[in-house]
Amino acid sequence: MLVHGSVYRPFHGEHHMIRINTTTTMDITNVDLPLQVDVERCNYKAGETSDGQLCIVYASHDDFLLHVWIRVVDGDGIGIWVPQNILSLSVEIGRVTRGWLGHLRVVQVRSGYVYLSMKCITPVGILRCWFLSLSLETMKIESLIHGTFGDSAYPYVMAWPPCLIGDDGGTGHEVEGSR
């Protein structure tokens, strides 16, 4: 994930991430993870809050808890992880998925939103998958898409294709009466 000109990548099996400063020197450094993160399952992602702060989001597999830490600099100038929130997701995910609970995975953290996927096998053997978004500000979960497909999808931001922009700069998709 790119945050403030640095790329953060998990160092699988280790209790730190690799940080590559892409803006000036291309320095490579290690950033320790919060001790509570289970690095063996790798169900965490680095990202940014809505105000651009570096954060770590970790989802525990056994109890559907989502842990959020923010990286701050202490009085000695040392970067530390400060717990911001621990949220129980089982009730909210149960509401969105109509009672189904399964394997939860953190897909991405971007601009104050956590993107999650969850999959489970129904009693009749059908694989059900959900892609969810969680606002770090409101802590509200929304279902983006669900169905009977694999959970290998990743959110991304894409510019509106120039060929679909009209001469007036509009997309032609304005709702009647919205002006």
pLDDT digits (tens, 9 = 90+) for 56-71: 999 987 788 999 999 9
Does residue 101 sit within a domain?
A: yes
Tell me, what amino acid is at 12?
H
Does residue 176 sit within a domain?
A: no
Does residue 102 sit within a domain?
A: yes
| Structural domains in the chain (count) | 1
What is the residue range of 42's domain?
A: 2-164
Please, how many CA atoms are within 13 Å of residue 126, restricted to the half-sphere of its CB? 8
Which residue would you say has higher pLDDT here, 116 or 174?
A: 116
CB proximity list for 88: less than 8 A, separation 6 or greater:
63, 64, 65, 66
Assigned token pair, 52: 């651009």
Q: What is the pTM of this model?
A: 0.79
Does residue 169 sit within a domain?
A: no
Does residue 115 sit within a domain?
A: yes
